[in-house]
Amino acid sequence: MNLVADALSRKVQNAMLASLTISKVHEHLETSGWTYQISEDYFIVSYIQVEPQILSSIKAAQKNDPHIHRLKELSQTGQTEKFSVASDGSLRFNGRLVVPNLIDMKEAILREAHCSRHSIHPGIRKMYHTLRAHYWWDGMKKDISHFVAKYLTCQQVKAEKMRTGGMLHSLEVSQWN
């Protein structure tokens, strides 16, 4: 066996695989419109930022809300401790993103949290705790309970859980006398 010849042939195969991979990445970057820099053996992708559409919508809506502007001013002057302005300019309440008082926006957040494939119709408590970790608005808990109450599926599950089982029915006293 010739160990040197085997090592050299593997080196050539690896180089061919690497060039195929680099060409595929190059094709993808060309069509995506991303900024990148090419070297002989690698690519440097300079910057990619991904943000969910709902977050972009909330931040844009905050810019047009006079109530949020007042809260930002109060937080910047130190008159309120619970509200703060993040580095991206968005208003936060104890670190959570403040949602403007727009019904459509709240509905979109509630629909996403309740009807997505990953949540599978959570109840009021679970949905509240999930949303509470990221968002804040006045009357959030009440809005969530009204939203969940609209869904027949959730009401049927709740009704099934409230039914008592057959073994839990009360016994008649006359049987034991």
The model's pLDDT over 21-64, given as tens digits with 9 standing for 90+, comes to 556 666 666 666 666 666 666 666 556 677 788 899 999 999 99
Question: Domain span at residue 117?
Answer: 101-163
pLDDT value of residue 126: 87
Contacts of 89 by beta carbon, 8 Å cutoff, 6+ apart: 59, 63
Give 164's DSSP letter: P
In a domain, 80, yes or no: no
Q: What is the pLDDT of residue 51?
A: 78
Packed helices 103-115 and 140-149: angle between N→C axes, nearest 10 degrees:
60
53 is a domain residue: no
25: which 2 tokens?
A: 């990445």
What predicted TM-score, i.e. pTM, was given to this entire model? 0.59
Q: What is the pLDDT of residues 90-104, one digit of tens each?
A: 999 999 999 999 999
pLDDT of residue 160: 57
Whether the predicted pLDDT of 16 surpasses 90: no
Asked if residues 97 and 131 have their Cβ atoms less than 8 Å apart, the reply is: no
Report if residue 172 sits inside a domain: no
Residue 93: inside a domain: no
Position 83 in a domain: no
Give the pLDDT band (50/70/90) at residue 12.
very low
Which tops the pLDDT comparison, 89 or 176? Answer: 89
Does residue 65 lie within any of the structural domains? no
Rounded Cα distance between 58 and 109, Å, is 10
Q: Identify which of 67, 102, 100, 73 has the alpha carbon closest to the alpha carbon of residue 85.
A: 73
pLDDT of residue 137: 96
| Alpha-carbon span 72 to 85, nearest angstrom | 6
Going by C-beta distance under 8 Å and a sequence separation of 6 or more, which residues neighbour residue 132? Answer: 96, 140
pLDDT the model gives residue 17: 44
Residue with tokens 């009360």: 170
The residue among 30, 45, 60 that closes a domain is: 45
Contact 78, 85 (CB under 8 A): no
In a domain, 133, yes or no: yes
Q: Which residues pair with 85 in a beta bridge?
A: 91
Q: Tens digits of per-residue pLDDT, 71-90?
A: 999 999 989 889 999 999 99
The rounded distance, in Å, linking the Cα atoms of 106 and 99 is 7
The alpha helices in the chain, defined as continuous H runs, are: 3-32, 53-63, 66-76, 103-115, 124-132, 140-149, 152-162
Domain count, the chain: 2
pLDDT digits (tens, 9 = 90+) for 118-167: 666 677 888 899 899 999 999 999 999 888 888 766 555 555 555 555 55
The answer as to whether 159 is a domain residue is yes
Is 18 a residue whose pLDDT tops 50? no
